[in-house]
Structure 1
């Protein structure tokens, strides 16, 4: 899921630590759900990045359109899944958001490490 087909070690470690911390407060499911949203976001980023790398002869305009579609798709998924977890399932908002945010920070750290 991280660059070069490696697992996002820092992101998964952050998810594990947040889950352990929130399991003490009996809301680990919300933290895991937030982390899973982050992992889905990571997989979409990698999918679109690999798709663009495979098409080296595309014009800059098409490249911008592909990037825009990727951003819109990822943000829509992020918002819908977050609202689903908060409003429909009724998960703890603090744990869900912290799991999501720390998962994304872990993704950024993985990207910097794997460069």
Structure 2
């Protein structure tokens, strides 16, 4: 994922902390659901990045279109899964959003650390 050995250490550490904190407050499922959305988003980012690296001979226009498709797909997935958790599963909004946001912050920290 975001580290050299394949494990996003900062992201997983933050998600574990969020899960434990919200487990104490009784809404661990919502935090874990938000964390899983964050990890899925991370895996899609890495998949897109690896796909771009494998196709070095493509034109700039094709490369831009691949990036646009990746961003649209990830944002649609993020919105759909978040709304599903909030509206259908009736999960705690605070725990879900905090799990999701801190997971993304952990992903960014991993990227900065491993540059």
Provide the TM-score with structure 1 as the length reference. Answer: 0.97
The answer (yes or no) to whether the contact 2:8–2:107 under 8 Å persists in 1 is yes
Q: Is the 8 A contact 2:3 2:9 kept in 1?
A: no
Assess, with a 3 A threshold, how the Cα gap between structure 1 residues 54 and 3 changes in structure 2: closer, same or farther.
Answer: farther
| Structure 2 SS opposite 1:58 | coil
After TM superposition, list the pairs within 5 Å mapping 1:1-115 onto structure 2.
1-4=1-4, 6-115=6-115
Which structure 2 residue ranges, 5 or more long, are not aligned? none
Distance in 1 of aligned mates of 2:10 and 2:35:
12
2-structure distance, mates of 1:68, 1:105:
22
Please list every run of 5 or more consecutive structure 1 residues that lacks an aligned counterpart in the other structure. Answer: none
Provide closer, same or farther for how the CA distance between residues 55 and 3 of structure 1 changes in structure 2, counting only shifts above 3 A: farther
Q: RMSD value over aligned CA atoms?
A: 0.8
**CA positional deviation for 1:24:** 1.1
How many residues of Structure 1 are paired with residues of Structure 2 in the alignment? 115
Contact 1:3 1:46 in 2 (8 A): no
- Please say if residues 37 and 81 of structure 2, whose CA atoms lie closer than 8 Å, have aligned partners that are also in contact: yes
User: Could you give the per-residue CA deviations for residues 41-92 of structure 1, whole angstroms, max 9, x where no partner exists?
Assistant: 0000000000000011110000000000000000000000000000000000
For residues 1-45 of structure 1, the C-alpha deviation after alignment (integer angstroms, 9 at most, x for no partner) is 214452111000011000111111100110010000000000000
